[in-house]
Amino acid sequence: MQKRKIRNRLIIIGILLFLIGLLILSFFILYKNFNIKKEQKLIKEYINVSSQEKSNLEVLEYVTSNEEPSNNIEKYEMILEIPKINLKKGLYSIDSKYNNVNYNIEIIKESNMPNISNGNLILAGHNGNSTVSYFDNLKTLSKDDNVFIFYKGIKYIYKITNNYEIKKDGTYKVLRNNDKTTITLISCKKNTTDKQIVYIGEQINQIAY
């Protein structure tokens, strides 16, 4: 009798744990889908506005769905798109508190904007399974894959030309052709704690949108 009670309790506990896990998973999926839809809306607005105000646009400000202008301002400096890994993400201005790998893909402060000839736009992002691991699939990139930057009414087109590993020690080494306008993508190497992967892309075209 006692064994039966213990078994029944264990079954009830197991069911409760399963339901809690299912609830957490459902919340995570709903939260992720909400963020995807929000991101798509902001990207669409950015592209629509910047195509109309090419020369005057510095930083776009959008109110989130909560409609509290004083507290919920999204500032996009540009849009990054990497078709190979199905990534299209708005990037915040360098001086924004959200320009940080713990919130988003980060524009490194030493970067040049894509309209600077022979400059280098440096972007860093997390690898892994968290909600901010936007560079999780960066490892699948290969030579000649496309990377796009939408900035002030111009779509800048890059092709991947090189990739290599560096030590994760708080610094980074960029190996690029200084006579080319480039983009550098940096992330941690999967399943390691002391290495990072670096991808270099060279700008090959500019198209007004």
Residue ranges covered by each domain of the chain: 2-208
pLDDT higher than threshold 70 for residue 51: no
Structure confidence at residue 42 (pLDDT): 76
Is the per-residue pLDDT at 27 higher than 70?
A: no
pLDDT at 196 over 70: yes
The whole-number pLDDT of residue 31 equals 65
Given this model, what pLDDT does residue 18 score? 80
Mean pLDDT of 58-67: 36
**Closest among 158, 151, 156 to 54, alpha carbons compared:** 151
Pick the CATH number of 2-208 from 1.25.40.10, 3.40.50.300, 3.40.50.2000, 2.40.260.10: 2.40.260.10
Average pLDDT over residues 58-84: 59
Q: For tokens 């009670």, what's the residue?
A: 5
Give the separation between CA 107 and CA 121, rounded to whole angstroms. Answer: 8
* DSSP-derived secondary structure letter, 167: E
Kindly state the average pLDDT of the residues 124-131: 90
pLDDT at 66 over 50: no
Give the amino acid at 190.
K
> Does residue 155 or residue 66 have the better pLDDT?
155
Q: Which pLDDT band, with edges at 50, 70 and 90, does 49 fall under? A: low
The pLDDT value recorded for residue 112 is 97
Residue with tokens 């197991």: 14
- Among 150, 13, 133, 134, CA closest to 79: 150
Please tell me which residue, 5 or 43, carries the higher pLDDT value: 43
Name the average pLDDT for the chain.
83
Question: What share of the chain has pLDDT > 70, as a percent?
Answer: 83
Select the more confidently predicted residue: 43 or 1. 43
Q: What pLDDT does residue 57 have?
A: 35
> Exposure of 125 by Cβ count < 10 A (0-12 exposed, 13-18 middle, 19+ buried)?
buried
What pLDDT score was predicted for residue 61? 38
In terms of pTM, does the model score above 0.85?
no
Structure tokens at 164: 């290599």
**How large is the C-alpha radius of gyration of the chain?**
21
More confident residue, 16 or 63: 16
Contact at 8 Å (CB) between 39 and 89? yes
Mean pLDDT of all residues in 117-129: 94
The answer to whether 33 touches 48, Cβ cutoff 8 Å, is no
Neighbouring residues of 183: CB distance < 8 A, sequence distance ≥ 6: 114, 120, 121, 122, 123, 147, 149, 158, 200, 201, 203
Longest dimension (CA), the chain: 82
Over residues 19-35, mean pLDDT: 73
